[in-house]
Amino acid sequence: MNYICFLMKRWTTILTLLFLVLLFKNCKKDPPIPNDDGHNHTHVKITSPGFPDMLVPSDNPTTQEGIDLGRMLFYDTLLSADFTQSCGSCHNQAHAFSDNGKQFSVGVDGLEGTLNASALVNPGWLPNAFWDGRATSLEEQALAPVPSPIEMHLDWSSAVGRLNNHANYPDLFENIFESTPITKEQVTKAIAQFERTLVSNNSKYDAVLNGTEVFTSKEQAGYNLFFSEQSECFHCHATILFTDNLFHNNGLDAVPDSGRAVVTGNSNDNGKFRTPTLRNIEYTAPYMHDGSIATLEDVIDFYSSGVQVSATVDPLITNPHLGGFQFTTQQKSDLITFLKTLSDPSFISNPDFSNPF
C-alpha cells in the first residue's frame, strides 16, 4: 500500500509540473513573427472596453515598431523648415494634445492660423479629421502640417530627403514598410499609428461606469442634466467617445464661418464644424473651432444665453431666439462639475505618449 501511495504521489507531482509548463507556454506573449526577409513585426490591436471597434486602414496595420517610429516622428523637429517645431509643439500632452492654451497656433515663420488646434483624444475613432472634416483619415490629416506655410513650412521632398539621409531613420522605415527610400506616405502612416494609441479611457466617469467609483451628488446632478432633454447636450455628445463625429452649427456667430461648406460646397453647411470630444475638456481651453471662448465656465454661459441665430443654426439649440438654454447658476455649476469627471490624468502623464528624445 505504501508503494502504491508513493507512485500516486510521484505521478501527481509529474502531472502538476507538466500542467504548469503547458500553462506558462500558453500564457506567455508570442515573439514577433519574422518574415522571410527577416523583418520583425509585432502586430498590435488597439481596443478599449465599451468603445466601438477601431477601423484601421488595411494598408497600414498597427505594429509596435510603427507606433515607436510614429512617436519619434511626432516629436521630431527635423520635419520643420528651421528644425524648431514638431507635431508635438502644437499638440502638447499636458494639454490633452491641444496647443498649450493658445487660441491659434503659430508656425515656424511666426504666422498665426485661424482655427484652434484640435485636441488629439481618442483620434483613432474619428471618421474624419480637421474641424471641417476635409481629411478622411489620420494618414491624410498628417500630410498637411509639414508643408503648410503657417505651420512647419517644409516641402515634403526636403522632409523625406532629411529622413533618407538620417543615421537611423532609413533602417527603421525599411524594417516596418519593407521598401526604400522613405516616402511621405510612409511618414504619415507611422505618425497615424502612434496617434491611434492616444486612448483616453481612465477618467472618473469611466470608473463610475465600471462600478469602482460613484458620483458625488453634484456630479450626479450634472450628469442628469447633461443627459436630459432640458440641456440637449447628449444629442451631440452622448456616445462613449462624447462626440457624435458629425457637423453642427452651434450658434457661435450670427454670420457663421464657412465650416463644413468648404468641403461640401453646400451653403447649408455654413457654420457647421465637427463635434469635438468632451473627454479631457478640462485640459483643452480655449474652446470652439476658433478658440474664442476662454474657459469652461464661459462655454456654459454661452450655451445658456449667448447662442446666435443664423440660417444654419442647429435645431437642437433650444430657443436660440432666447440665446440658449437659460441655465440657472446651480445648473451651470453642476454641468461643469460633471464635465470634469471626464478628465483623465493618466492620459496627460502616460510615458508611452511622451517625447522620446
Q: What is the pLDDT of residues 162-198, one digit of tens each?
A: 999 999 999 999 999 999 999 999 999 999 999 999 9
- What is the distance between the alpha carbons of residues 284 and 354, in angstroms, rounded to a whole number? 17
Q: pLDDT by residue (tens digit) across 229-273? A: 889 999 999 899 999 999 999 999 999 999 999 999 999 999 999
The answer, yes or no, to whether residue 15 has pLDDT greater than 50, is no
The pLDDT of 277-287, averaged and rounded, is: 98
pLDDT at 64: 97
Q: pLDDT by residue (tens digit) across 31-61? A: 444 444 456 789 999 999 999 999 999 999 9
How is residue 179 written as a grid cell? 521598401
Mean pLDDT of the chain, nearest integer: 90
pLDDT at 38: 55
DSSP 141-208: HTTSTTT-TTTT---HHHHHHHHHTSSSHHHHHHHHH--SS--HHHHHHHHHHHHTT-----SHHHHH
Residues 270 and 259 sit within 8 Å (Cβ to Cβ): yes
- What is the distance between the alpha carbons of residues 237 and 41, in angstroms, rounded to a whole number? 37
pLDDT at 6: 37
The pLDDT of 124-134, averaged and rounded, is: 96
What domains can you pick out in the chain, each with its CATH number? 41-45+55-199 (1.10.760.10), 204-342 (1.10.760.10)
Q: pLDDT by residue (tens digit) across 315-342? A: 888 777 789 999 999 999 999 999 999 9
pLDDT at 315: 87
How is residue 25 written as a grid cell? 507556454
Q: Quick one: pLDDT band at residue 18, thresholds 50, 70, 90?
A: very low
Q: In which region does residue 66 sit, left (phi positive, over 0), alpha (psi from -120 to 50) or beta (all else)?
A: alpha
pLDDT at 39: 62
Q: Quick one: pLDDT band at residue 7, thresholds 50, 70, 90?
A: very low
pLDDT at 307: 94
pLDDT at 41: 83
Strand, helix or coil for residue 353: helix
The answer, yes or no, to whether residue 81 has pLDDT greater than 60, is yes
The answer, yes or no, to whether residue 12 has pLDDT greater than 90, is no
pLDDT at 319: 73
The pLDDT of 11-18, averaged and rounded, is: 40
Residues 250 and 289 sit within 8 Å (Cβ to Cβ): no
